[in-house]
Amino acid sequence: MRDENAFLEKMIASKKPVLGICLGAQLLAKACGAAVKKAPRKEMGFFDLEVTAAGERDPLMKGLGRKIRMFEWHEDTFDLPENGMFLARGEGCESQAFRIGKCAWGTQFHFEVTPEIVASWLDEYGSAGMNREEITRFGGDFVKNGRVMAANFAAIVKGK
């Protein structure tokens, strides 16, 4: 993990866009001096999150609105780094999305997954209390949100 930490520190110092998802967000927070620890509860499934006022203005989160439903699969969390800004918060696990400076973002939730990926995780690792009906019921929400965030990050990387 030392190499990953050094890489993230280098990316932040060089002001190149960097995005950490789930474990990546935890590593990014750690590289910025924040604690990584067990979450108050495991989050596996679909959760409603609140986008902060800063998040609504942020280039990664723009266009999502104040309430979003995202897919979670984690049992650890992180504290907000000293120079960080919350972009989204959750009820059971507060740290959901943050930004450091102008070029580094972390999301605890998985905006990159599709219903097919979620189904394959359930097949591989067990249901975690979920069922396929939830994937169908909530799939449109989190896929739409994920596509918005992916397009936003692509625009950030391109400098737009």
Report the catalytic residues.
Answer: 22, 110, 112
E strands within 52-114? 67-78, 84-90, 95-100, 104-107
DSSP, residue by residue, 6-57? HHHHHHHHHT--EEEETHHHHHHHHHTT--EEEEEEEEEEEEEEEE-HHHHH
